[in-house]
Structure 1
Amino acid sequence: MPEARRIAIDDMIAKTAQGNREAFDALYAATSARLYALCLSILKDRPEAETTLERLYVALWQGSAGQPPQGAAALQWLTALARYRAIERLRARQAGTSSGEGARKAGALAAVPAEIEGSAAAPILSDLDEAQAEAIRDVFLNGLTYADLALRENVAVDDLRHWMRGALLRLRN
C-alpha cells in the first residue's frame, strides 16, 4: 500500500474516533468491501458477517477500537481486528450450538466440509490420512486456531504446527 494511502487511513481512523462523519464515510468506503469479504469467508453467513462488520465500525466510531500501533499499517490493523472479531463470533456460535439457532447454524457450517468433499478438493484431501484432512478442514474452513486444535488433540502447539505443515506440504505436492 502506498505510504500516502496508509497515512490517509490512519487519519480517517483518528478523525472517526473523534466523531468526524466525513472521515467515517471515507473510511467505510475505503475499507468495508475488503473487511466484509474477510468476515464472510470466516463466518460463511451473510447476516453474521454484516453484524460483525457493523460492530467493528461502531467501535471505530466510538473510539473503543483504539488506534493502530505506532508504525503499523492501518489497513492491516483493521484487517486483524475484523478477523479477530469474526473468529470470536464463530467461536461463540460453536459454543452456543445447544440452542436452536446455534444448532441450525452449526448444521449449516458442518455442511461446508461435506460440500467440499464432493468437490474437486475431495481427491486432494483424500491424499491425507483422516486426522490430517479433518485438521485442515477445521483450521481453514471452520476457523479453528492452531491453539484450539492443539488443545482438542492434547498436543503441544509447536508439535501441531509441525504436523500441519507436513500435511500442507503433502497437499502442495
Structure 2
Amino acid sequence: MSRPVPLGTGGTSRADLAELMAEVARGDRQAFSGLYDALAPLVFGIVLKVVRDRAQSEEVTQEVMIDLWRQAARYRSAAGSVTTWAATIAHRRAVDRVRAAQAANDREQARAAREHQSPFDEVVEQVETRLESEQVRRCLNGLTELQRESVTLAYYRGLTYREVAQTLRTPLPTVKTRMRDGLVRLRDCMGVTA
C-alpha cells in the first residue's frame, strides 16, 4: 500500500482512511503513522478552535491521536467516516479540556475568596475601641446610681436580673424598671437608633 497524502496537502480518500483504520485496529504502527499524518492537521484545527491555546491544543491533539490508536477496533464505517469519527473525538476532548480548566479556575477563585481576609489597621481598631469605651463610661456616668449599678452588674459581671436585685437588695421589679430606663438612656447617649 502506498503512503497516503495528508489531508492538508491534497487529501486522503475516505476508503484509504477506512483501510488505514482497519490496519491500525490490527496494531499496524506504519498504518497509524499514515493515519496520523492524514488526520493530525484536522484534529489540531478543531481543538484549537475550542481550546484557543496553541500549547494546550497540541497536548489535546496528541491525546486524541492516542485515543484513535487505542480505540481503532471500535471504529465502524457504517456509523460514519474516519474523519467524522476523529473530529467527534477531537471536539469532545477539547470541550473536556476547556471544562476542566474552567472548573480548576472556579475552584481556585472559590478558595481564594474563602481565604481572603480584609486587612485592618490595628491602631485604628484600638483607637476606635478606646473611644467607644470612653463614650460608654461617659454615658454610664449620666445614669442614676441605681441604673448604673444595675447595668454594670448585668452587662459587665453577667448577673441575671434576680441576682442584680439580690446584690443591690432592691425589689426585682424596681431593678427591671431601672435597667430598662438606663438602657434607653445609654442608647440615646451613644446615638444608637432603635
- The normalised TM-score by structure 2 is 0.46
Partner residue, 1:10: 18
Q: How does 1:1-173 map to 2 (within 5 A)?
A: 5-63=13-71, 66-97=74-105, 98-99=107-108
1:65–1:54 CA distance, 2 compared to 1 (3 A): farther
Runs of 4+ aligned structure 1 residues displaced above 6 Å come to none
User: Any idea what SS the aligned residue of 2:13 has?
Assistant: helix
Task: State which structure, 1 or 2, has the greater radius of gyration over its C-alpha atoms.
Answer: 2
* RMSD of Structure 2 on Structure 1 (CA): 2.5
* Structure 2, unpaired ranges of 5+: 1-6, 113-194
When residues 92 and 51 of structure 1 are mapped into structure 2, their CA distance, relative to the original with a 3 A threshold, is same
- Once residues 65 and 23 of structure 1 are traced to their aligned partners in structure 2, the CA distance between those partners, rounded to angstroms, is 13
Q: Residue 38 of structure 1 contacts residue 83 of structure 1 at CA under 8 Å; is this kept in 2?
A: yes
Mapped to 2, the partners of 1:64 and 1:29 lie a distance apart of 16
Aligned residue type for 1:45: D
Offset from partner CA, 1:98-126 (integer Å, 9 cap, x none): 349xx9xxxxxxxxxxxxxxxxxxxxxxx
| Percentage of matched positions with identical amino acids | 27
Taking a change above 3 Å as real, the CA distance of residues 54 and 13 of structure 1, as seen in their structure-2 partners, is same
Is the CA contact 1:12–1:27 (under 8 Å) kept in the aligned structure 2?
yes
Following superposition, the deviation at residue 56 of structure 1 comes to 1.3
Q: What CA deviation, in whole Å up to 9, does each residue of 1:43-95 have, x standing for no partner?
A: 01112111111111112222378314515122111111101110111111111
Q: Distance in 1 between matches of 2:81 and 2:94?
A: 20
